[in-house]
Structure 1
Amino acid sequence: MATDTTTSSPPPRRWPAVLTAERPRPEGIRSLPNGWWLAVGAVCFGAFMGQLDASIVTLTYGSLRTEFHASLAAVEWVSLAYLLTLVALLVPAGRLADAHGRKLLYLYGFAVFTLASAACGFAPSLTALVAFRVLQAAGAAMMQANSVALVTTSAPRRRMRSALGVQAAAQALGLALGPTVGGALVSTLGWRWVFWVNVPVGVLALVGGHYLLPRTRARTRVARFDWPGLFLLASATTTALLGVSAASGLPVPDWAVAVLFVVAASAGWGFVRRQRRTTAPLLDLTLLRVRAVAFGLVGALSGYLVLFGPLVLVPVVLTARGSSDLTAGLVLTALPAGFALAATGGDRLLPRGLPDRTRCLAGAGVFTLAVAGLLVAPLTIGALLPVLALTGLGLGMFTPANNAMIMGSIPARSSGTGGGLVNMTRGQGTALGVALVTLALHLAGSAGLPTGSRWAAAVLLAASAVAVGAAWLTPRTDPGTTHAAS
């Protein structure tokens, strides 16, 4: 009797396994010939919501200033706190996912993001809203650090570029719909619904991810987490972005801006030094010795700088010329629309066997020529529409191929870290695109908007040239790393 009772009872402390173990997909889904597309679709939920949230929140600034009686500089922290947290946590989240499971971290990230979104909608003060945005960014980091890795480990090697193109298109769609959806929600239901709209989508994504995402097969065990490395990385990225933002016109003394850059450089040097010496580094620096990874990350940063820079430049130029915010938003849609079209249709229009490096060069060449048009063409609606559309088409050709080269050069066991690197670089490119264009407009000062817009266009052209150079220096042969999913 005693023996039977002991045998039939569940093992002690079994319940934590439900929270820490990845569950496999149902056999019926796993055995589908093209079932990996279901996993890609599940990841696209996060890609869409991440970019929608990035572009939708700026529409709440006016309502937040009115409700909380706050200045614009204070309200901007609703976006700044999110961005700084996201950039700082992407690589650590990817590192943890490589050790404990990418599906697990992705689902927990969506749960945190969804709960924090609900909390943001109930925020009683601006301070509470900023705090909840930090929590929301922590969840977004867990999602975004694993999104690229989940796509690359789910898709067959020969279809990786197409899968990454669909994910990039989902991001572009979120970016394109953000201003329209945000304006509609704020004007009808109020600013709180900008955050509450994430909740039903988050619940659907959690259910879909549980059943559609594969378990992690290849893992990199971590003996201990590198907390000093995380502190140094967060300090470097945060102070660097704050320095650029402060130099763009924030009421901060010049000496404070200089101090921020010195701290950023010191923390960055300290981070690299620690990663070389510690036995359990946060970031495997040997990944950066692979040319396809190093130059690919440079290209990713430059590409997202070019993608997000016009989001600042175009509304400033058009509204100064008397156009409405709605008109400016509709004109801007040409950029992400072109991006989505090329990202999803590139494989159908270009030869299937065309190497990723060639695709990167072609895409970078297209958006470089388009951005050059900003220097010579009049900044009117008629001229901006084709320039933005061509810029988006070029970026849509460049980005999936560039990501495929990066992720194809990284071992499957480190794909979470690699995905975190890609997304961290995207975040830095996004921030630099906004900050450097704002800086160019600010430095033009009394010279006027036409001069400032040309300076901003010159910044975007320089970033485009860097992307071309990075693609040119990438190895000519595509890597053949094999990924496996279950």
Structure 2
Amino acid sequence: MTSYPQETFAAGTEQAVSVRWTLASLSLSMLLASLGTSIANVGLPTLAGAFSASFQEVQWVVLAYLLAITTLIISVGRLGDIVGRRKLLLAGIALFTMASASCAAAPHLSWLVAARAVQGLGAAVMMALAMAMVGEAVPKERTGSAMGLLGTMSAIGTALGPSLGGVLIGGFGWRAIFLVTVPCGLLALFLGHHALPAARPRAKSTRPAFDVIGTLVLALTLGAYALAMTIGGGTFGTINLILLLAAIFGICAFLFVESRAASPLVRLATLREPRLRSGLATSMLVATVMMTTLVVGPFYLSRGLGLDAALVGLVMSAGPVVSALAGVPAGRLVDRFGAGRMAAAGLGIMAIGCLALSVVPQPFGVAGYVMALVTLTAGYALFQAANTTGVMKDARPEQRGIVSGLLNLSRNLGLVTGASVMGAVFSFAATASAFATADSVAAAAGMRATFAVATVLVVFAAAIAVASRVHVVEPTPEETEGVGGS
């Protein structure tokens, strides 16, 4: 029998009950963090009216949250490795809950934006450490199912945000979209306090130091990249170029700092591990593709197929619903057949979905779009569960926080890149076609071009995944059991 750290639960019924409550706590943390990402978007028009602000000003309610997560998620993962994940996760949940209350009480827009940034910091802790603690609470043979559950909760939070936010704003006003997460945060804090495994005491003399300089350089670098990809209203101007160059310079500075740090934030040798390097690259590429469905989909459905706003929302909800339903079954497939095989299968299904989105919707209408989207999303759910499981299984216990942070960062960078780059591809293709055609034909041309590019990205991700398996031969769970080692 494999030996686990002190955080591991006792065997038998008590273990099963403890694991369930621990997963409930981690799942609620992931749900709240993803809900915070999507619930505010629907309230932007209302906030613009409430604070007499422009769209460019109120969009910082969303950007502040995303930027805080993107710039800090690696740092909080590393900090959890040093000071203890349980302690930091509870602090993150408490910070998220207090910031939610502060958002609801905001007297002016600048207050709300600042509170959203603090809420994003709490969400970064919750996202990074919820994934990291799965390895401590769940036996390795069930890691895939647990990761699938967290993926399902993340999808539910993303899907629930717009609809729940709309209902709350209509019935109680904009403050309710932030106030609703306060009791949920208190429940997560209660569950976490009673169910999360206690960390093994660690002497202060054996704790590595926290890399403050590396953290600051990385945060500034990621912030510059995220701003370069988001500001400018879809155009890429001088400011965007300056920020992008600053991000490139920041990467070089970060590598220099980390190569000389006594206790680096990210050990550069870690990034040379084939599975981690492959997992991060494919995660970013896949997230870029999935963001494309959220950015391009509404334009095509409204302009290309002539749907009204209500029907656009209904059709768009098919993706998150499939992701939520497929998460746990995908995790079980990963446990049964192995992470490497299922990651490759998920990417193959995604490629079919992307290809279908580039050729099917126009002749087959809404039904063709929905079937292609369902295929793409099901493949994504399988890939996500497999990729996360494979990377986290290989992570050493003292490195789980930073590895989880790297995975979440790669996903966030993919989302930011997809929103900007793939949106620009659609705009360029649609504009080029619009000179001689109607809006519906131009939207269809943009759709074809964008998902043709997306198909290439998924095929490239599959090539990276296959190449990494040349270096890492993964046994199936049955082969592992056949070895009989303990």
The answer, yes or no, to whether TM exceeds 0.5 is yes
Gaps of 5+ in 1: 1-22, 482-486
Q: Aligned partners of 1:61 and 1:49: how far apart in 2?
A: 19
Query: In 2, are the aligned partners of 1:248 and 1:435 still within 8 Å (CA)?
Result: no
The answer to whether residue 226 in structure 2 is matched with residue 241 in structure 1 is yes
Residue of 389, 401, 409 corresponding to 1:404: 389
Partner of 1:91: 74
Distance 1:470 1:351, change over 3 A: closer
Say which SS state the counterpart of residue 69 (structure 1) adopts: coil
- Cα distance, 1:74–1:97 mapped onto 2, change above 3 Å: same
Question: Which residue in the other structure is 1:163 paired with?
Answer: 146
1:332 to 316, 319, 335: 316
Give the 3-state SS of the residue equivalent to 1:131 in structure 2: helix
Q: Is the 8 A contact 2:8 2:137 kept in 1?
A: no
How much is the aligned-residue C-alpha RMSD, in angstroms? 2.5
User: 1:374-402, CA deviations, whole angstroms, 9 ceiling, x for partnerless residues?
Assistant: 11122532111111111111011111111
Q: Which amino acid aligns with 2:49?
A: T
Residue 142 of structure 1 is matched in structure 2 by 125
Q: Which residue of 1 aligns with 2:462?
A: 468
Superposed CA offset, 1:32-86 (max 9, x none)? 3453232122100011111122111110111011111211111111111111111
Q: 1:324: how far off?
A: 2.7
- Pick the aligned partner of 1:478 from 470, 474, 479: 474
Is the 2:70–2:222 contact (alpha carbons within 8 Å) kept by the matching residues of 1?
yes
- Seen in structure 2, the aligned counterparts of structure 1 residues 347 and 418 have a Cα distance that, compared at 3 Å, is closer
Q: Which runs of 4+ in 1 moved over 6 A?
A: 23-30
Q: Indicate how the Cα distance of structure 1 residues 182 and 462 shifts in structure 2: closer, same or farther if over 3 A, else same.
A: farther
Q: Is the 8 A contact 2:296 2:447 kept in 1?
A: yes
Check the 8 A contact 2:135/2:143 in 1, yes or no: yes
Quick one: which amino acid aligns to residue 327 of structure 2?
A
Q: Which whole-Å CA distance do the structure 2 matches of 1:255 and 1:434 have between them?
A: 19
Equivalent residue number for residue 152 of structure 1: 135
Are the equivalent residues in 1 in contact too, given 2:72–2:121 (CA < 8 A)?
A: yes
In 2, Cα distance between equivalents of 1:44 and 1:434: 27
- Percent same amino acid at aligned positions? 31
| Count of residue pairs the alignment pairs up | 456
Distance, in Å, in 2 between the alignment partners of 1:52 and 1:351 is: 26
Q: Corresponding residue for 2:422?
A: 437
Q: 2-side partners of 1:313 and 1:124: how far apart?
A: 35
Normalised by the size of structure 2, how large is the TM-score?
A: 0.88
- Residues in 2 aligned to 1:192 and 1:109: alpha-carbon distance in whole angstroms: 22
Aligned to 1:7: none
Letter in 2 for 1:288: L
**How far apart, in 1, do the equivalents of 2:83 and 2:180 lie?**
30
1:125 maps to 108
Indicate if the aligned counterparts of 1:441 and 1:452 stay in contact, CA closer than 8 A.
Answer: yes
Q: Contact (CA 8 Å) 1:52, 1:177: kept in 2 or not?
A: yes
**CA pair 443-351 structure 1, distance change in 2 beyond 3 A:** closer
Give, as a single letter, the amino acid of the residue that structure 2 aligns with 1:393. Answer: A
In structure 2, the CA distance between the partners of 1:297 and 1:363, relative to structure 1 (3 Å rule), is same
Label 1:283 to 1:222 Cα distance change in 2 as closer, same or farther (>3 A).
farther
The counterpart of 2:27, out of the listed 44, 50, 54, is 44
Distance 1:30 1:303, change over 3 A: farther
Residue aligning to 1:209: 192
Describe the SS at the equivalent of 1:285: coil
The answer (yes or no) to whether the contact 1:172–1:340 under 8 Å persists in 2 is yes
Pick aligned residue for 1:454 from 425, 431, 448:
448
Residue of structure 2 in register with 1:416 after alignment: 401
- Give the 3 Å change call, closer, same or farther, for CA 192–463 of structure 1 in structure 2: farther
Q: CA deviation at 1:460?
A: 2.2
Taking structure 1 as the reference length, the TM-score comes to: 0.88
1:196 aligns with 2:179: yes
- Partners of 2:201 and 2:459 lie apart in 1 by 37
For structure 2, list consecutive stretches of 5 or more residues without a partner in the other structure: 1-5, 434-441, 481-486
User: Is this contact kept in 2: 1:249–1:442, CA < 8 A?
Assistant: no
Q: Shift of the alpha carbon at 1:248?
A: 5.8
Could you tell me which residue of structure 1 aligns to residue 439 of structure 2?
A: none
Q: Secondary structure at the match of 1:295?
A: helix
Q: How many Å separate the matches in 2 of 1:457 and 1:236?
A: 29
Q: How many angstroms apart in 2 are the aligned matches of 1:26 and 1:32? A: 5
Cα contact 1:52–1:178 (8 A) shared by 2:
yes
Offset from partner CA, 1:434-475 (integer Å, 9 cap, x none) = 222322233343533233223322332233123212221223
Question: Does residue 366 of structure 2 align to residue 381 of structure 1?
Answer: yes
d(CA) in 2 for partners of 1:306, 1:29: 43
- What is the distance in 2 between the residues matched to 1:101 and 1:183? 38
Q: CA deviation at 1:356?
A: 1.1
Q: How does 1:247-266 map to 2 (within 5 A)?
A: 249-250=234-235, 254-266=237-249
- 1:294 corresponds, among 250, 257, 277, to 277
Q: Deviations over 1:395-438 (max 9, x none)?
A: 11111111111111210111111111111112112222222232
Q: Deviations over 1:91-142 (max 9, x none)?
A: 1101110011101111100100011011111111111111111111111111
Cα distance, 1:288 vs. partner?
Answer: 0.9
Report if the CA contact (8 A) 1:26-1:211 is conserved.
Answer: no
Matching of residue 67 in structure 1 with residue 50 in structure 2:
yes
Contact 2:331 2:386 in 1 (8 A): no
Range that drifts further, 206-215 or 448-457: 448-457
Q: Distance in 1 between matches of 2:194 and 2:8?
A: 5
Q: 1:132 to 1:247 in 2, by over 3 A?
A: closer
What SS does structure 1 have at the residue aligned with 2:269? helix
Contact (CA 8 Å) 2:105, 2:175: kept in 1 or not? yes
| 1:323 paired residue number | 307
1:304-315 to 2 correspondence within 5 Å? 304-315=287-298
Between the aligned partners of 1:316 and 1:360, the Cα distance in structure 2 is 30
Partner of 2:263: 280
How far residue 25 of structure 1 moved from its aligned partner, in angstroms, is 10
Q: Assess if the C-alpha contact under 8 Å between 1:149 and 1:416 holds in 2.
A: yes
CA contact (8 A) 1:337 1:392 kept: no
Does structure 1 residue 180 correspond to structure 2 residue 163? yes
Please report how far the alpha carbon of residue 225 of structure 1 lies from its aligned counterpart in structure 2 after TM superposition. 2.4
Report the alpha carbon displacement of residue 240 of structure 1 after superposing the two structures with TM: 1.3
